[in-house]
Amino acid sequence: MFGARLQAAMDEHGPLCVGIDPHDHLLEAWGLPRTAEGVREFSLRTVSELSGTVAAVKPQSAFYEQYGSAGVAALEETLAACREHELISVLDIKRGDIGSTMGAYARAYLEPTSALAADSITVSPYLGFGALDPAFDLAEAHDRGVFVLALTSNPEGAEVQHARRGEAADGFGDSVAGSIVSQVAARNEADSTEGLGRFGLVVGATIGSAARDLGFDPAACGGPILAPGVGAQGAGIAELIDVFGSEAIAANQILATTSRAVLSAGPEGVRAAAKSLNESLTQVI
């Protein structure tokens, strides 16, 4: 099961997930052109260097899509390389739509025969949680994972995610974000897998007391939590404990995500930077 595979990878390699975000300045620093071929080389080198070092990698689809079909081809090769190196992929696409459109997105990224198939994807629930059913259903059918946006660290997110709904019967508070956590928890319970569920959340590592203030515990979702913001954005082990609690971290429920803190070390320093940051995140205090 996806949750068990991810947890086993975190047990073996630590809680770190490295985002593959080939920004222009990183391509230049690595001596690569700002082209689809540069993105391809950057990504394949990163996957190779991180193999056996971290639990997962998170390619950001937008950095590939901007180069058109050649960029998408580079993303296909990156995901294939993850499979070859047995490195769990979290494809950051944040898709969210309705009906047949959501079904097409789900088939593109979760159907095993697709060239863009990933081990897991990120999705946005803000067209209605039920609209994500095609992704949930395919994830169940093909043993994939789905991370649902719940509480993000960008200031604009609060106007929707922190909004009050006037309902708190499920124990997850009355906020929109609390409702997302509640529904992910229900999905994991219905999926009836043992251990960590296949359906998780995206919760920023730098949100501080936001979840507590809204009246819920993200760890109650029963699945893995993708926590971006580690490293260059300011979060370390103390911030992760503040947001999620030491029990969730010790149980390897929190997939701590970074990008610049590792990638800025350059092609020769990626592995060492990842190992160092990983070690700092295993020191639960």
Q: Is residue 181 a part of any domain in this protein?
A: no
What is the spatial distance between Cα 237 and Cα 39, in angstroms, rounded to a whole number?
Answer: 31
| Residues involved in catalysis | 94
Beta strands in 182-251 (DSSP E): 199-203, 225-228
Q: Is residue 149 a part of any domain in this protein?
A: yes
Q: Is residue 284 a part of any domain in this protein?
A: no
Rg of the Cα atoms in the chain: 18
Report pTM.
0.95
Domain count, the chain: 1
Q: Which residues have C-beta within 8 Å of that of residue 232, sequence separation ≥ 6? A: 258, 259, 260, 261, 264
Q: Is residue 264 a part of any domain in this protein?
A: yes
* CATH number of the domain bearing residue 208: 3.20.20.70
DSSP 56: E
Per-residue pLDDT 10s for the chain (285 aa) are 899 999 999 999 999 999 999 999 999 999 999 999 999 999 999 999 999 999 999 999 999 999 999 999 999 999 999 999 999 999 999 999 999 999 999 999 999 999 999 999 999 999 999 999 999 999 999 999 999 999 999 989 989 999 987 766 566 778 999 999 999 999 999 987 778 999 999 999 999 999 999 999 999 999 999 999 987 777 889 999 999 998 998 889 999 999 999 999 999 999 999 999 999 888 754
What is the spatial distance between Cα 201 and Cα 144, in angstroms, rounded to a whole number?
Answer: 14
Q: Is residue 224 a part of any domain in this protein?
A: yes
Q: What is the pLDDT of residue 174?
A: 85
Q: Of 205, 253, 203, whose CA–CA distance to 233 is shortest? A: 205
Is residue 22 within 8 Å of residue 38, measured between CB atoms?
A: yes
* Residue written as token pair 């047990």: 11
Q: Domain range spanning residue 260?
A: 2-175+199-279
